[in-house]
Structure 1
Amino acid sequence: MMGSGLIGASLKTTGTPRPPQPVAGSTEPTVAGPFTGTDLDGAEQVPTGLPRAAPTGITIPRIGVRAGIMALGTNPDGTVQVPPLDQALLAGWYEPGPSPGEPGNSVIVGHVDSAAIGPAVFFSLGALQPGDTVTVDRTDGRAATFRVDSVASYPKAAFPTELVYGPSDRPGLRVVTCGGQFDEATGDYPDNVIVFASLIP
């Protein structure tokens, strides 16, 4: 089975502000069904998904993110790659999985901070709330916009692999970064903050 926790020590420096964390409560996501609306005739709209196309950028208005995206795979030990720390302002798309907008769960990861630059691309990810939007630009010129269903924090040792990388017949997005209280001894964060979102038709 694929390794799943977001690795990559942040090598945080003292004095860097602490990233916001999801609202305290159950760590189980309250993932709503994929967004549906109604058209002018009252018929339900269900997103069917877009053809495969690599993502080029991600925009999250609530937290001021507008970043490029690089393609990532897996490390030799089976864990998912993350962007290099010297490119901590870029996000990374897990290329073996669905592209954003395709049926299935597309996964985008990024650092919370780094010693070199301080706050990184997803520093404020934990501040997102249900109803917020995430837009991903694609190489085919189309943009896939997702509505946030829930935001949750999980210990890295209990990463919800199936909820993030598992199969789905609807287009979903999972955005992942590090979270929790930075551990000076290990030079890493103990948790992952995960945003669960559904494609808006």
Structure 2
Amino acid sequence: MRPAAATIVLGLALAVGAPTAWAVTRPEAAAGPSLDRVLSAPAAPTAAPPGAGTMPPATVRDASPVAVPAPPPPVRIELPGQGITAPVDPVGVAGDGQMELPEDVARVGWYRFGPAPGEPGNAVLAGHVDDREQGAGALFPLREVAAGAEIVVTDATGQATRWRVVSRELVQKQVLPLEALFARDGPPRLVVLTCGGPFLPEYRSYRDNVVVVAEPVADATP
């Protein structure tokens, strides 16, 4: 059973330990159109097939269910313009309701109960921004990603898909649009998250999330 998006709290689990250098060179809070505008954009309309609206001819089908192979999981994410390259691990939901993340800040988690990159809906990847002992995480430079930047995701078969960033926004964790971020239908999108904003010592975490949304590049197969 796949947990509903409403139960996934990307709250205080997206950072551990003490901050490194976020506040030293704080970037602009947003790039590209707003998150709400991007996530609410409808899928591109498709042309109706010939004969639409008429009764189709009767067909005979095997009553046995057809097994649909699961799409290969992502295993690596790269943002060449920011020097980001990191292995990706499938993750689920922790006991406290938060999205699991790899303990190693050099790795990124893919939410395995949602779409894989390239499937309809939002493929969600997230990782720690930093850690007291480990230092800056793989997604630390995410805060500086500009609209138009390229993201490359490689799956377990070695197939790479390319994505173009359309939006980057700093959003307080308490008001993250979880249902929209974890949508399982609609046009394929890639959502990449890490922590950002001011560090809250009492929670040992950051107040906000950096949310990057990217759309597939046409003819993305290299």
**What TM bracket, shorter-length normalisation?**
0.7 to 0.9
Counterpart of 2:90 in structure 1 is: 71
What 5-or-longer segments of structure 2 have no aligned partner? Answer: 1-5, 45-69
Kept after mapping to 1: 8 A contact 2:114/2:184: no
Counterpart of 2:207 in structure 1 is: 190
With 92-101 and 1-10 compared, the bigger mean Cα shift is at 1-10
Task: Provide the rounded CA distance (Å) in 2 between the counterparts of 1:196 and 1:153.
Answer: 12
The one of 6, 16, 40 equivalent to 1:10 is: 16
Kept after mapping to 2: 8 A contact 1:94/1:107: yes
Deviations 1:25-83 (A, max 9, x none): 699424285999xxxxxxxxxxxxxx721011010012101110111001123221111
Kept after mapping to 2: 8 A contact 1:104/1:171: yes
Counterpart of 2:130 in structure 1 is: 113
Deviations 1:83-137 (A, max 9, x none): 11xx110001000111111121000000100011211111110100110011100
Task: Provide the rounded CA distance (Å) in 1 between the counterparts of 2:164 and 2:118.
Answer: 12
1:80 paired with 2:99, answer: yes
Kept after mapping to 2: 8 A contact 1:109/1:177: yes
Tell me how many residue pairs correspond in the alignment.
Answer: 183
Query: TM-score if structure 2 supplies the norm length?
Result: 0.75
Task: Provide the rounded CA distance (Å) in 1 between the counterparts of 2:215 and 2:21.
Answer: 30
Counterpart of 2:120 in structure 1 is: 103
The one of 172, 175, 181 equivalent to 1:164 is: 181
Change (3 A) 1:21 1:31: farther
Match for 1:195: what amino acid?
V
Computing the radius of gyration from Cα coordinates, the structure with the larger value is 2
Task: Provide the rounded CA distance (Å) in 2 between the counterparts of 1:134 and 1:143.
Answer: 10
Secondary structure at the aligned position of 2:125 is classed as strand
1:126-165 correspondence runs (5 A): 126-165=143-182
Change (3 A) 1:126 1:5: same
Task: Provide the rounded CA distance (Å) in 1 between the counterparts of 2:133 and 2:43.
Answer: 39
Task: Provide the rounded CA distance (Å) in 2 between the counterparts of 1:35 and 1:133.
Answer: 21
What 5-or-longer segments of structure 1 have no aligned partner? Answer: 37-50
